[in-house]
Amino acid sequence: MYQGVIMSGFGGQGIISAGILLAYTGLTEGKHVTFFPAYGAEMRGGTANCSVVISSEEIASPVVAFPDTLIVMNEPSLTKFEPSIRKGGLLLINSSLVSGKSKRDDLNIHYIRANEFAEKLGTIKIANMVMIGAYSRITGAISIEGLRKSLKKVFPRARQDILDMDLEALKKGMETV
Amino acid sequence: MGEKLLMKGNEALAEGAVRAGCRFFSGYPITPQNEVPEYLSWRLPEVGGTFIQAESEVAAINMLYGASACGARVMTSSSGPGISLKQEGISYISGANLPIFYANVMRGGPGLGNIAPAQGDYYQSTRGGGHGDYRVIVLAPNSVSEMGNFPKRCYDLAEKYRMASMVLADGLLGQMMEPIEFDFEPVDPAKLPPKEWALGNAEGRERRIIRSYDLKPGYLEKMTLKLLEKYNKIEEQEVKYEAVQTEDAEILLVAYGTSSRISKEALMLGRKEGIKVGLLRPITLWPFPTKILGELSGRIKKILTVEMSLGQLIDDVKLAVEGKSRVYLHGRPSGGIPTGEEVLEIIKNICSE
């Protein structure tokens, strides 16, 4: 089992947090993991992306040039990374913010209204969790139970009610795909 | 030891240094190594250590000079441009035979450059870097685990030989997260054997002097030849490398740090297609694994160095190979990161020649 994932969106959408949650959950479930953020000039409203590898074998390179899965949280990210997804790969699109459709016909594509779901649950800040929930269900690379346990570890300073909302968002993401 | 943690490379480096007994850090911020001072700014006070954000890199390295002369386990870290500024002090420290540990988390250069991962400071690190005849022991990690565990090795080597020892990493190793397990028990610096040369608390003992020079005619040459004795011993005894599938290899990749991870991917992809690729990863860049490369080059006729620089590592490879193999270069400078697929293409081109 090998999953090279790129998640991309605006700074402030929780791209980096979601990536760390993925990697940490993989680690707790006995997988090899790497996480690499785009770093430096990123800021709220700018672009942010990260690469996560989850694998049952030792990971040689942490560089994800051709992702197996692309999670797109905004329009520019789709344009930027869509061409690089491996044939037969998975493309998850936050259709609340991405109006365009994918140009690829060789992918497994899901359009998820992540912002709307998140807002209904209480805050758009958890749109990232909706996407991670969907990812978990489709690929099985990490489990919902693993994600639930990891929340407290990855966000040690978050209030319990926020963590509860995160879990609801993860579940919502699972249900939609 | 024990628990597997998910850590950022820079934080692993900082935590590793503290566990290895570091109790004094002075530095100045620069991306992509800022998590090192950020982490140490709260972590060192926890263990009774001292963290100083200096007014400049030059001040930082000279504080290190003083603290090391007093026998402390000291550290500084920076990225290329900051390390350039510290070279004057590192040269003085080398002349004065003092043990220090420092890290360079490389970014793209030359000049101000950019903050992307790069390996353009290979010459600077392996050739001393500052003025005069001196060497620095250079360890090149290629994982977060090694980022955390190499500071201990650096302190051990630095104190064994009384000289500077460094970790040469890059922005990718600094910024990425991976599981890490520390492979050593935390060191209590108070329990280390006393340093017979260290300054301070002079009452009741003979005066000690630490300096980087001797002005009596002919004496400096003697001092520097003493350095050579030590360097020769290190070249004999302290070389470390990792050899991957070299036994039957028909083409050998040579790469360190991040480039070695990418090369390993290329190796795995190549092997799947039946291409006999091997990999030699120098772990010590100085002392360089000259002997093993010399041996391998007797049998493997094609060698490809993969580096995130214009062709610096390749010089050491050619010196080791002494013309016995053809040596090729794939160099991506100033923030270019090669991919496994890209390296595999080059391997195929070379093999079909």
| Cβ–Cβ contact A167 with B under 8 A | no
Q: Do A62 and B337 touch (CB under 8 A)?
A: no
Same domain, B19 and B161: yes
Would B209 be classed as within a structural domain?
no
pLDDT tens string B87-138: 999 999 999 999 999 999 999 999 999 999 999 999 999 998 999 999 999 9
Q: Identify which has the larger pLDDT, A40 or B226.
A: B226
Supply the range of the domain harboring residue A98.
2-175
Would B213 be classed as within a structural domain?
no
Q: How confident is the model at residue A40 (pLDDT cuts 50, 70, 90)?
A: low
Domain end residue (candidates: B236, B260, B289): B236
Same domain, B296 and B346: yes
Same domain, B34 and B80: yes
Average pLDDT (B308-313) is 98
Closest CA to B274 of B209, B344, B197: B344
| Cβ–Cβ contact A52 with B under 8 A | no
Percentage with pLDDT > 90 across chain A: 93
Average pLDDT (A133-149) is 97
Same domain, B250 and B314: yes
Same domain, B29 and B101: yes
Supply the range of the domain harboring residue B320.
242-351
User: Are B209 and B294 in contact, with CB atoms under 8 Å apart?
Assistant: no
Q: What's the gap in Å between the CA of B312 and the closest CA on chain A?
A: 22
> Nearest CB to B177: which of A23, A32, A63?
A23
pLDDT given for residue B3 in this prediction: 72
| Cβ–Cβ contact B178 with A under 8 A | yes
Q: How many domains does chain A have?
A: 1
For chain B, report the end-to-end CA distance as a whole number of angstroms. 49
> Nearest CB to A60: which of B31, B177, B261?
B261
pLDDT tens string B292-301: 999 999 899 9
Q: Determine the distance from the C-alpha atom of residue B133 to the mean position of all C-alpha atoms in its chain, rounded to a whole number.
A: 18
User: Are B129 and B136 in contact, with CB atoms under 8 Å apart?
Assistant: yes
Q: Is the pLDDT of residue B259 over 80?
A: yes
Same domain, B249 and B231: no
Q: How confident is the model at residue A41 (pLDDT cuts 50, 70, 90)?
A: low
User: What's the mean per-residue pLDDT of chain B?
Assistant: 96
Q: Determine the distance from the C-alpha atom of residue A27 to the mean position of all C-alpha atoms in its chain, rounded to a whole number.
A: 16
Q: How confident is the model at residue A16 (pLDDT cuts 50, 70, 90)?
A: very high
Closest CA to B23 of B39, B38, B46, B44: B44
Residue to mutate among A25, A61, A87, A153, with most B CBs inside 10 A, is A61
Same domain, B153 and B74: yes
Q: How many domains does chain B have?
A: 2
Same domain, B152 and B104: yes
pLDDT given for residue B22 in this prediction: 98
Q: Determine the distance from the C-alpha atom of residue B3 to the mean position of all C-alpha atoms in its chain, rounded to a whole number.
A: 26
| Cβ–Cβ contact B269 with A under 8 A | no
Q: Do B172 and A27 touch (CB under 8 A)?
A: no
Q: What's the gap in Å between the CA of A155 and the closest CA on chain B?
A: 13
> Nearest CB to A62: which of B6, B261, B341?
B261
Q: How confident is the model at residue A45 (pLDDT cuts 50, 70, 90)?
A: confident
| Cβ–Cβ contact B262 with A under 8 A | yes
pLDDT tens string A93-122: 999 999 999 999 999 999 999 999 999 999
Q: How confident is the model at residue B85 (pLDDT cuts 50, 70, 90)?
A: very high
Same domain, B41 and B85: yes
Same domain, B137 and B259: no
Instruction: Please report, for the domain that includes residue B180, its CATH number.
Output: 3.40.50.970
pLDDT tens string B130-170: 999 999 999 999 999 999 999 999 999 999 999 999 999 99
pLDDT given for residue A57 in this prediction: 96
Instruction: Please report, for the domain that includes residue A43, its CATH number.
Output: 3.40.920.10
Same domain, B45 and B167: yes
Residue of chain B whose Cα is closest to the Cα of A41: B115
pLDDT given for residue A42 in this prediction: 61
Q: Do B261 and A24 touch (CB under 8 A)?
A: no
- Please report where in the chains the tokens 């923030």 appear, as a residue: B335
Same domain, B303 and B161: no
pLDDT given for residue A43 in this prediction: 66
Q: Is the pLDDT of residue B1 over 60?
A: no
pLDDT given for residue A46 in this prediction: 80
| A83 DSSP 8-state letter | G
Task: Return d(Cα A66, Cα B337) in angstroms, integer.
Answer: 13
User: What's the mean per-residue pLDDT of chain A?
Assistant: 95
Would B148 be classed as within a structural domain?
yes
